[in-house]
């Protein structure tokens, strides 16, 4: 049953690589050194599967020897009624434990490229956002 998730992560990584390669080509870079991602805890994406998919998908790209860094962003919930902020403990509950009203997710849904570090033509690393 793990196969569909791996397919999901591969398509995500392919999209990330497309963006990274486009940025590297715009800067006339021969290669990508680092891709840093922010991955929310509340996404349906397993960072381990994303890392594995990156190892497979990067072959033959400008990121072939790149390092993938993944920052996992914790899920933070906010009650719009009593202003309480919390992180879910064991069970997922979107109801405020202080006042009983629904909670809003304020972080933990992220999937974004934080930065891409590329090699300049004179072999000096350069970060781009």
pLDDT for 42 equals 86
pLDDT for 90 equals 56
Architecture of domain 3-72+109-128: 2-Layer Sandwich (3.30)
pLDDT for 100 equals 86
Phi, psi (deg, nearest 5) at residue 15: -65, -40
CB 125 within 8 A of CB 117: yes
Give, rounded to a whole angstrom, the gap between the first and last alpha carbons of the chain: 36
Q: Whole-prediction pTM value? A: 0.78
CB 117 within 8 A of CB 37: no
The low-confidence residues of the chain, meaning pLDDT below 50, are 1-5
Distance CA 47, CA 76 (A): 18
Give the ranges where the chain is alpha helix by DSSP (H): 3-26, 47-57
pLDDT for 3 equals 44
pLDDT for 119 equals 93
Residue extents of the structural domains in the chain: 3-72+109-128
pLDDT for 4 equals 47
């Amino acid at each position: 049953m793990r196969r569909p998730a791996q397919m999901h992560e591969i398509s995500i990584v392919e999209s990330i690589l497309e963006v990274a390669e486009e940025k590297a080509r715009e800067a006339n870079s021969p290669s990508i050194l680092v891709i840093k991602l922010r991955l929310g805890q509340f996404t349906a994406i397993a960072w381990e599967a994303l890392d594995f998919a990156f190892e497979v998908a990067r072959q033959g790209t400008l990121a072939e020897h790149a390092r993938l860094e993944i920052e996992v962003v914790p899920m933070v919930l906010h009650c719009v009624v009593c202003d309480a902020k919390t992180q879910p403990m064991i069970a997922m509950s979107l109801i405020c434990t202080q006042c009983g009203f629904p909670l809003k997710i304020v972080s933990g849904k992220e999937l974004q490229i934080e930065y891409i570090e590329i090699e300049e033509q004179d072999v000096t690393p350069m970060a781009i956002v």
